[in-house]
Structures are given as structure tokens and as C-alpha cells.
Structure 1
Amino acid sequence: MSIIPKPVDLQRTETSFLINEKTTLSVGNELKTHTNFLLQEIEKCTSLQLTVTDAPTENFIVFLIDNNLKADNYHLNITNTHIKIEAGNYGGAVYALQSLKQLIKINNLEQTKSFIVPGLSIKDGPEFGWRGYMLDVSRHFHSVKEIKEVLDFMSELKLNRFHWHLSDDQGFRLEMKKFPKLNQIGSWRVDRNTTDENINAVWGRLPQQEGEVASYGGFYTREQVKELIAYGQERNIEILPEIDVPGHSQAIIASYPELACEKKKYYVATGAVRENNTLCPSNAYTYEFMQAVISEVAELFPIGYIHIGGDECNKSNWKKHAQCQNFIKKHNLKDEHGLQSYFIHELEKIVNANGKELIGWDEILDGGLAPNATVMSWRGEKGGIESAKMGHDVIMSPSSYQYLDFKQGQSDFEPNLGYAQTLLSKCYSYKVIPDTLTQQEAKYILGTQANLWSESISDWGKLTYMTFPRLFAVAENAWTSQKNKNWDNFTERLKPQFKVMEKQGLRFAKSVFNPWLHHQGNGKSIKIWFTSEISNPEIRYTLDGSEPSAKSNLFSDTLTIEKTAIVKAALFENDSRLGDVIEKEFFVHKAAGVPVKIVSETDETKSKINLNALTDLCYGQLLERGDTCWQRFDNTVEFELSFDKPTDIESVTIRSLRHTLQTLYAAYRIEVSVKDTDGFKQVGDSGYLNENIIQGRNLFSNTVNCPTKGVTILRVKVIKVKEIPENHVNEGKQAFMKLDEIIVL
């Protein structure tokens, strides 16, 4: 059975049940107030409007409460005459319903009038009480309708905590009665968004200028929040609000600049920022403000927690602010970390006074943890382990496993979203309880959650693509015991889930069923091989640019290509393709293996680079960390290539990287010269490549046409950006370049 998350116990029988227009629904007394919801959910996946009856005899679905079952546990029994659901509480009934819905969808992809479900018996319940999904709506605002869709897909995977990141530098998203400027000013920014998913550019956007109108954003009214809370409760989901302070607060101080250390004009951030975005913790008014904000939040949200952020707080303003430094001395604090700890302690008092418990990101450990705080561990597991050993509740959410804004496949074949990589297999491999905790300490681990930060997630299609299928893995990590998890079994259960999502028209990543393409050049030829996240993959490929089919070559061992080829490959099973076709052109070019030397008069990097790498037929990837194909150059550089015989050439292509946050800029200009009887003659010039100095993270391939016959010595000058331009994130600093291959055709 392809239910995700995997049930505790599932026994298949030989029978089956047919849901049709004659099927009735019966609901026990304890659940009668939820009858309409149960009817609507069944109708969503069958289009059938079932009749409700109190005395069913055959062909019925019945929901009952069994007080002998634990909360959120359920039994689901399907026979040839009826479907019986017994649950420990309403939550258990919701989860049983979701298992039933999955069975209906998976087994009836083409059915429209009657729906067969297999006979079985399930006994099930969650491993962890906290099973969460966080959505950042500050960077990009999502409508009430879209938030409801989020709550729907969470419920379908038995997740029960929606962490709502409502404030950040780029927007404040919650209606506030006492501080209306948070909505009049803080909820809106100037639109400098990049929606093209081939361009990853969230850092260094031009700030709002005087006279510009802030038109991008929005906020949720109190009535909309109440509507969404009720919608979540119906699906057994609690909504956790997060107001991120004292850092990530530019939208707040743009609305009320008196809350900042430096008194000046602030604007809501148009993109990512990392300074001048903190509240002033030495200002008494900051605490008055936070008390009023927290009181409104506590009044609105019934959940027993308020998340106050506490992460990535840039303390540089506090260091140079005399009032903050005096505050540190007055209160005998060690340093700025102690000052943040003081702030968090004061906030916890406010949160507790409003009948709630405080949750914060693991930075709240720095300088000393507030007495009753719950820690959300994202910078790995260290903060969570430390907190559990101190007797504090913990929600495990390490970025390397649980961040859904990271790429989920080989970077060359993924949308250019996110800045790191978390594969589905890595996500699924996460073990929520660290081995270093004792049995007693492990009790403080409440559960786990996934986080989707939305800097580059500008629309619904990107949201679903980055969320699925990894949320299936997160859900199974949270619901299913470690001993009951199995990667191969999970990927088998995932295949029919993909078919359901395709039928729904949902955009999702098939990366787990895409082959990984590897290569190694030696200056003469290129060795190529494929791997996969799944076990025993059937990988078929072509080398002539044609689409691979079930009859194409089956990969079994390393291939060698000695001439330029377009490689295409895909995974197959039972003559059907599982994922997408991956494609890459490998150039075995005229300068392959040709000796390269640097002829620039000044170059600081000669001893640090491998010049052979520039003609060895090894091609780098976008995520360059650890990729030895890329060679770093700190200055404009001119290369000389010496051919062993006269060679006719048509073009020279330079591949370079752009990652402007790291001061890495692509080639700004490329000049090509050849040696003749009078010295060197220029035969090609790219001109200034202005597109290459736009901020972002990309791989560029720039070609200079330079048809010349009988070339013996070729010079290629790659000019870098002299100084990082004004209004860029590293304005005024020196840039560097990374190049991987000089392709001569």
C-alpha cells in the first residue's frame, strides 16, 4: 500500500470495497459536529455526495471514537461491505480520513463514478507530537486561498503545526490594531522582485528611493486569521505565529524608526539585508512596543506558543551605540550576545504573562537561554542537543535536512532557486532523535518540521515545486518510527503519489527519479557515468541528442566520448519513464589538452591555480563548492594557448560563475588575439558583458566569434569587474572570477 507517511501496522486482505452513489456515511455522536467536513473531504476526491445515516447496514463508511485508543491514533478496517474507522479523538479521525483519501486517489486515477479501495486493516499513530511545516510569507505574500491549500496538503500528510513566519525585513503580514503603521508602511515594499527562476538574485537589490511608491505586499486581517485558524483546526492543525525580533526587523523599524538604535529614515527591504535591521534593546519603548504586539498576537492565536524569531541578529549597531554599551555595563552583561539574551528573557516574561510559551530559533541559546523557552534547532542539531540536555523542549529542524528552499537535484538540471542542496534521500535519512541523547533527554524532542524560506519563491508553482516531494519525507520522519522507515520502500510508495500529483496538475520536482550525470575529462576524451538516488536504477541514454526511450542504450559502465556529444538520459521502469530527461552538451574542442600559460604582467594567482584545468574537458557546475573544475582569478588575466599545428578556429567560449554575495563576478569582457608575423592581432571582442554584472547566482557561457585560419598561438584576455558597482551588496569591494574551460571551436 502506498500510504505516506507509512502506517505503524498495515495488513492487506483479499477483499475490496466499492464507494459509489449508494454508499452512506455514519458518524458517531462525539464526531457529529464534524460531519460536514468529513462529507466534503470525501466529495473532494470522489465527487460523490454521500447520504448520512445513523443506522447503516451495508455499503457504508463509519467514523467512531474509541476511548481506548491514544489521542491521534486510529484503526482503519476495509471489508467488502463497509469501511470502519475508530479513532482516539477527532485528530485520529482526521488522520484515518487522510489515509482513506490516499487509497481512493491512488487506486482510482481514471475513475469518476465509483471508486475501489483495497481490503485492509491499519493500526496507526504518530511517533512525534510536533509535525510541522513553516512558510515564510514576508518575502512573498500568499493569499488566504493559498494558505488554505497549504493547510490542505499538510493535513493530507498528517502534519499538525503550521509555522507562519509573519514578519521579516521584507514585510509585516499581520493586522495590528495598536500599531497601524505596521500595515500602512511595514506590509508594503517597492517591487524589485525577480520572478525568472533562472536568475537567483535576492541580495543587493536597490533599496526604496525617496518618492517611490511601495506597492508589493499585503497583510492578513484579523478576520482572515480567525478564518484560517478555524480552517486549520478542522484539519487538526494548529497555527504558530512568528514575529521575528530583534533582528530581521527592518519592516518594523521602517514603520516605527524610534525602535532602532540609529534614528533615521528606514524603508521596508526590497531584498535580502544583513545590517541596520535590528530593534534597539536598550530602549524602554522597544519593550512597551513588544508587549503590545505580543498581547495582540496572543489574543488572536489559540496555540500555546508564540515564536519570537531571535535568529541572525546583526549586533553591529549595538556595538557602536553608546546607549546599548551603557546598558550592557549597567546590567552586568558580558557583551552583545548577553544583551540579546537579556532581550529574549524580557520577551519570555511578556509571552508567559499572556499565557503562552516562547519558541525561538537556536540563536536564543547565545548568551544564556530563557528559563522556559522552547528551542527550534536549525543550525544543525547542536543547539537542539544542548537544549535537550538542559531540560528544554526542542523542535528539530536542521537546515541541511529540513530546508525546502534548497535545491533538490543536480544543480545543472534544477531551477536556479535556493543557495544550497538538500536531496530527497538526505531529507528522508534524517533521524529526529540524535544518538547522543539519553532516553530521558530524548523526551524533550517534541518533533520536527520543514521550513520553506521564500526569498526566491515568488509564486505558487515555485512553492509546490520546492515543497514536493520532500514534504512526503518530512511527514514520514515525523510520523513513522525510525525502525519502520525504509528508503527503498518509501520511493516505491512515492511513485503512485507522483501520478496523483500529475493528475491534480501540481507542479513538483521529479529530481529523485532523474539520473545524475558525472564526467571526467583528461584533455583528450571525456569519461561519462550516471548514478541515482534510488536503488538499482534502469538508466537509458543517448549520445546523439535524441530523446531516450525504453529501447535506448542501457547504462552499465563508464562511457568514453572522443568527440562533441549531446548526452541525454532518463530513468525507466516497466518501459515507462519515471522522471525527467536530463541533457548536457560536452564539447571535445580544438584546444583540448593544449598547454596554457598566463601572460598577464601582474597576476597574484599563478601559484594557486591549475592551468591544465582550463583545457582538460572538465566542466564545472553551478554549485561550485568543492568542484575542482573551477579556477579562481583575482585579477584580469590573459591566457596563451599554443597549438602543436596550425588550427582553423571559429569561436572561443569562456565559462564563468557569478555569485555576487560572495564577491564572485562573471567575466566582464573577453578579447581574443592570434599571433601573426607582426605580433598579436585581435580577432574577436565580446564587448562589455553588462548582463554578467547584474547581481545574482548564475553560470555564464560567453562566446566570442573569431573565425581565423592557421592559428598557432591564441591569446584570450578575460577582463574582470574592476570594482563592485554602486548599490550592489558588496559595493566598492574587489571582485574575483572563477573560470573552468576555454572552449575553442
Structure 2
Amino acid sequence: MKRFLFGLICCMLVHSAFAQVNVIPKPTQVLTAKGAWALKAKTKIGAPADTTWAHVANMLAAQLGKATGQVPNIVKGKGDISLVVSGDASLGEEGYRLLSTPKGVTIQARTAKGAFYGVQTLLQLLPVEVFSETPVAGVKWTVPYVTIKDVPRYPYRGLMLDVCRHFMPIEFVKKYIDLIALHKQNQFHWHLTDDQGWRIEIKKYPELKTISSKRKETMKGHYRDQKFDGKPYEGFYTQDEIREVIKYAQDRFVNVIPEIEMPGHALAALAAYPQLGNNPDKIYEVGTKWGVYDDVFMPREETFKFLEDVLKEVIDLFPGKYIHIGGDECPKVQWKESRFAQDLIRKEGLKDEHGLQSYVIKRIDKFITSKGRRMIGWDEILEGGLSPNATVMSWRGIDGGIAAAKERHDVVMTPGGFCYLDHYQADPKTQPVAFGGFTDLAKSYSFEPTPEALSAEEARHILGVQGNVWTEYMKTPAYVQYMVWPRATALAEVGWTSKEGRNFEDFSKRLEIHKKRLDMLGVNYFGAPTNDKFEYVWPEKK
């Protein structure tokens, strides 16, 4: 057997040009050989008895069954396709080895999560029709002879979705998670509360769903036009729906990070509970304009009680490590004008209103930490002094991330110029309305998450990269898909593949095949042949 494997590897080295491995993200090491292994009429998938590993095997069997019309049998131990527990520490939690030989396909991993990522690669080694939801006739179901060792560069590889500006149905959220998993990303950041809508049921505060989830109208066209559609808009997720999404994500080894905005972006909550704002007698309305409002939470004890009650329910729902508290774009106007806020600044010995924001964040951090979780927030949480346990998302460039890493805080890099997928990706004259700016596929792909300004020790605090999707101008799931992919595909490779292993020309070639997979999955990506059948908001003719 050893002699056979040695010969096969030598053959792979000699025949490395025989098979083009069009896998995204690009694997760490790939050796190819001439020839391919073919699925049998009654292919067997072998897996350990462990239920999580069996779950991975069942997911593979289900997808093969949809596309080929024959569902493979699951057996314990060895099969034609075998999932095998590996003792190789170099694979880590998420790495895998994949070997395709004349005797079958073996995926080795230390964990079921690593095996799942090996399965994603196996599916991409098969013909693109494997992603069909119905049986496809006339396809040769083969896997090229290949040996792959693959380990991700960063532990955090995320994609965010704002459902506050435009609410997205559960079925689309699940599809979003499917695409996150396909691209070997592992974090779904769910932006659930903002000025323009509160989208999560909180049982202790029922008016968050009856009042805060509704706005009287929505902006029409671009913000600069100041036009409105005059139509009521609403939507929220019940806690049962939240649990359904979390379970769906867990099945695909995706962690869901909820974001509950504070102390700014609070207008929707204040519409239901005005006593939490600067003026308890004011009639607040859920925001209808995009942008930032001056109305923020006033840091009274009553407000902290509300925020902690909300976070208790959120923590009970979401099992993951991170709880995102926003912390961004908090205007200080009302705090400057408030006698209560100014007295609190003096009482606590704070320098100014930025110090007051830090006071709020630190109290919330202490509460979240007491519940065994980690707080994460946008880079404004650095202002006034960073809370001791906080993880920073650096969105206003990379400077915030550098500052946080130098203070030995963990960082997720997500600078707007590279990672904001609401920017234009082509000439605005040819595109539906977007926020602004310009970030094309090549620019997203060019992003380097670890700045040279950091020492080796500081660089260890760069956890990874995330793409952000703000939906002011994305009214429908099709619109979201058009803006997100394939730029999110590029960011997935940035997060997984080593800096040395990345090459945009090579990525572009593999992407042409990958687009056919997205076609099979019904994804309305930028450049897809079916874009013209979807309704977008196009710039008005001047």
C-alpha cells in the first residue's frame, strides 16, 4: 500500500497539469494526477459512528442524491467515499486532507467541521451539476485524482447582513447561510436592530415587535433625492424563527452573531419606549430616512435595565461566543445638552461625552462577560478607552484595528473600501442605485487583513475578515445577491487562503467555473445571465 501511495504521489508531481482544480477558496496544497475516480451506481459513504460526523455524511449523501438521482448509503467505517478522523495536529479544527485515488475518495480531518469543509471541496471537484436540486442526466460523475491539504489562514471568516433597512425572509437568510458555508466562511453576523427597524422579538418588551418593527414609509431612490414611497413597511423574526435559523446555521458549521445596536442607532426602540431617550415626553417615530439620527439611548439606570433584559433574551437564544453591540455612529448632541448626562460625566469622573460612551460600553461588556460571552463592536468602541474584553471590528479603514491589536485586543478587519458590499462595483451609470463609493471584485480580492505595522505578536490578534452588507438600497433578496456575490467569494478566499497563495488572475479563472455553480444554485450574482429579470431601483434619467 505504501508503495502504491508513493507511486501515486510521484505520478501527481509529474502530471500536475492534467487536472485544473477549480476550487474556491484556493486550497493550501494541491497535487494532481492523470485520471479520475467515478461515482458508482450504489456509492457508499463511510463515516465514524459519531453523530456529528454522520450528519456531515448525510448532508453529502443528500446533495449527491438530488443531483444524480441516487442517494448513497451511509455505512460505519470505510466506504467508496470515506470520512476519517485524523490525528494530524497540523490540520487544526477546520483543516482537512482529501485524497482521490482509483480506490475512492478519503477526507481526513480532526473534527467534523474540518470534514465538512473537505466535503465542500469534494463537491467543487465534481461537475458543477452536482449543485442541481433535481437529477441531471448524461453527466459523468467523476473526481480527478488529487491530493489536497487545506488549512484556513484565519479563524474568523464572516459575512454580515443588515435586515433592519430592508427585512429579509427566513428562506433567504437560510440561502445566505448556505452560500457562507459553501465558501468555507464560518460567521454570519446578523444586524437585527437599528433606527429604521427592530427585527427581533423580545418577549419582555412586546412593543418592540408591535411598534419598533414598523415604519410609515421608506426612502425612494437615493438619499440625496429625499423622496419617499408613502407605503408602510414592517417585519420581525419571532424567537422560534431565530432558533430555526441558528439550528440551520449550526448544521452547516456557521456561527450566528446577533447585533443589538447601542447606545446610538436607537430610534426604533425609542419609538416604543420613549422613556429610554433624552426626552420621555417626545413622540419618537421609527426612522424613515437612511443615515444617522441624533436620538440615542440616555444612560439612565432604567436604560441599562432595558438593555440587559434584551441581552439576556438574546444570549439565551444565541449559543455562540460573540454578542455584537454596535457602538458605532453615536451622536453626542443630546448628551451634551442633557443635565443628567453632564451630571453623570462629572459623577463618574469622565473626560467628556466620548468618555460617557466608553462608560456605557464598559458596563455592557461587564454584563456580557458575566454571562460567559465576548462583546464585539465597531471600532468607535475605541473612543474614550476600550473595554477590557472587547473585540473590535475595524470598519473606518484599518487604523482602528491596528490600534486595538497593539493594545492586545482581538480584531476583525472589515474596512469599508474593501469589504462594504453596498458600494458600486461598476460604472454607476450602468448599475442600480447603491450607497456610493467604488469597490469592484479586484479591489475586494486585493485586501490584506494583517497590516505590516504590527509585530508578529500583535498580528496574532487579527482574527480575520468580514464582508458587510447594508441594505438601504437592497429591497429584495435578488438585489442583495447581485451586490454580494461574487465579491463575497473574493473575501472568502482572502480569509481562507495564504497571502502567498493568492493571485487575482488565477482566482478569476477559477471563478468562471464557480459562476456555473452559482447558476445551478440560482444565485443572482453580478454578471449572472439572468440579472435582467429582477427588479432594481435604477438611477432616474436627468
Give, in whole Å, the separation in 1 of the partners of 2:225 and 2:358: 28
2:464 counterpart SS class? strand
Say whether residues 1:185 and 2:211 are aligned partners: yes
Superposition pairs for residues 264-303 of structure 1, below 5 Å?
Answer: 264-281=282-299, 283-303=300-320
Give, in whole Å, the separation in 2 of the partners of 1:502 and 1:233: 25
Q: Is the 8 A contact 2:214 2:235 kept in 1?
A: yes
Deviation at 1:39, TM superposition (A): 2.1
Aligned to 1:335: 352
2:201 counterpart SS class? coil
Aligned to 1:257: 274
Q: Is the 8 A contact 1:20 1:48 kept in 2?
A: no
Return the structure number with greater strand share.
1
1:29 counterpart SS class? coil
Give, in whole Å, the separation in 1 of the partners of 2:538 and 2:514: 33
Superposition pairs for residues 464-475 of structure 1, below 5 Å?
Answer: 464-475=481-492
Give, in whole Å, the separation in 2 of the partners of 1:92 and 1:55: 17
- Relative distance call for 1:265 and 1:105 in structure 2 (3 A) is farther
Say whether residues 1:12 and 2:62 are aligned partners: no
Structure 2 residue ranges without an equivalent (≥5) = 1-20
Q: Is the 8 A contact 1:45 1:101 kept in 2?
A: no
Aligned to 1:119: 145
**Aligned partner of 1:89 among 94, 111, 117:** 111
Deviation at 1:202, TM superposition (A): 7.8
Aligned to 2:166: 140
**Aligned partner of 1:488 among 493, 505, 516:** 505
**Aligned partner of 1:37 among 52, 59, 69:** 59
Give, in whole Å, the separation in 2 of the partners of 1:494 and 1:335: 50
- Relative distance call for 1:56 and 1:295 in structure 2 (3 A) is closer
Aligned to 1:355: 372
Q: Which amino acid aligns with 1:268?
A: V
**Aligned partner of 1:61 among 67, 81, 86:** 81
Say whether residues 1:368 and 2:390 are aligned partners: no
Say whether residues 1:444 and 2:466 are aligned partners: no
**Number of residue pairs matched by the alignment:** 509
- Relative distance call for 1:493 and 1:236 in structure 2 (3 A) is same
Q: Is the 8 A contact 1:138 1:168 kept in 2?
A: yes
Q: Is the 8 A contact 1:202 1:271 kept in 2?
A: no
- Relative distance call for 1:181 and 1:377 in structure 2 (3 A) is same
Aligned to 1:409: 426
TM-score, normalization: structure 1? 0.65
Q: Is the 8 A contact 1:176 1:182 kept in 2?
A: yes
Q: Is the 8 A contact 1:202 1:272 kept in 2?
A: no
- Relative distance call for 1:207 and 1:357 in structure 2 (3 A) is farther
Say whether residues 1:397 and 2:414 are aligned partners: yes
Aligned to 1:310: 327
Say whether residues 1:431 and 2:451 are aligned partners: no
Aligned to 1:21: 41
Give, in whole Å, the separation in 2 of the partners of 1:219 and 1:235: 24
Q: Deviations over 1:430-467 (max 9, x none)?
A: 00100100000000111111000011111011111111
- Relative distance call for 1:256 and 1:698 in structure 2 (3 A) is same
Q: Which amino acid aligns with 2:101?
A: T
Q: Is the 8 A contact 1:328 1:335 kept in 2?
A: yes
State the Cα RMSD in Å: 2.4
TM-score, normalization: structure 2? 0.89
Superposition pairs for residues 647-658 of structure 1, below 5 Å?
Answer: none
Q: Which amino acid aligns with 2:118?
A: A
Give, in whole Å, the separation in 2 of the partners of 1:267 and 1:373: 32
Q: Deviations over 1:117-175 (max 9, x none)?
A: 21111100110000000000111111111111011000000000000001001111111
Q: Which amino acid aligns with 1:363?
A: E
Superposition pairs for residues 525-604 of structure 1, below 5 Å?
Answer: none
Aligned to 1:172: 198
1:420 counterpart SS class? strand
Q: Deviations over 1:414-444 (max 9, x none)?
A: 2222211111111000001001000000001
1:268 counterpart SS class? coil
2:466 counterpart SS class? strand
1:98 counterpart SS class? helix
Q: Is the 8 A contact 2:47 2:78 kept in 1?
A: no
Aligned to 1:420: 437
Q: Which amino acid aligns with 1:118?
A: P
- Relative distance call for 1:313 and 1:388 in structure 2 (3 A) is same
- Relative distance call for 1:492 and 1:317 in structure 2 (3 A) is same
Give, in whole Å, the separation in 2 of the partners of 1:257 and 1:201: 27
- Relative distance call for 1:17 and 1:252 in structure 2 (3 A) is same
Aligned to 1:381: 398
Deviation at 1:476, TM superposition (A): 0.5
Deviation at 1:279, TM superposition (A): 0.6
